[in-house]
Amino acid sequence: MKSYREQPTKDIPQVQVPFNIKELNREQLSVDEGHSPWKLDPIFVAQVFSSVLISPNGIIGDYPIAYDEITLICKDSKRAIVEIKNNRSIAKKVYLNKLVRCNNTGIWTVIGYDASS
């Protein structure tokens, strides 16, 4: 895995994903209390996000995108890019940032993605 600065791809996703900073602050507090620890893992956050793109009405059973079909391309303390290796995926790459707290206790938020061709 390369550091974010060594990543040769562009930093701007094709599709921007809106977020609400007040809601992210609430989610961070919830994670601080021990709830939803998966939000500390950029691959897991990307798995949930890309799976919901396929199944927007909810996921029943296993996620349509498996955890091992996602590769962490680059990451630093604030940003990460992952690649989805599943033909069903709508997203090819997912861009994540830590928007509330930029340390190992901060949650990852999807800020955009590159669509599969």
Q: In a structure prediction context, what are the per-residue pLDDT tens digits for the chain, which is 117 residues long?
A: 555 555 555 678 899 999 999 999 999 999 999 999 999 999 999 999 999 999 988 888 899 999 999 999 999 999 999 999 999 999 999 999 999 999 999 999 999 999 987
**Which amino acid is located at 47 in the chain?**
Q
The CA–CA distances, whole Å, from 97 to 35, 55, 84, 89 equal: 20, 23, 17, 21
Q: What is the total count of domains within the chain?
A: 1
Q: Collapse the DSSP code of 82 into the 3-class scheme (helix H, G, I; strand E, B; otherwise coil) and give the result.
A: strand
Q: State pTM to two decimals.
A: 0.89
Which pLDDT belongs to residue 88?
A: 93
- Give the domain range for residue 106: 4-115
Which pLDDT belongs to residue 12?
A: 81
Other C-beta atoms closer than 10 Å to the C-beta of 111 total 17
In order, the DSSP letters of 44-66 are HHHHHHHHHHH-TT---SS-SS-
Cα distance between residue 52 and residue 89, in whole Å:
10
Which pLDDT belongs to residue 116?
A: 82
**Which amino acid is located at 110 in the chain?**
V
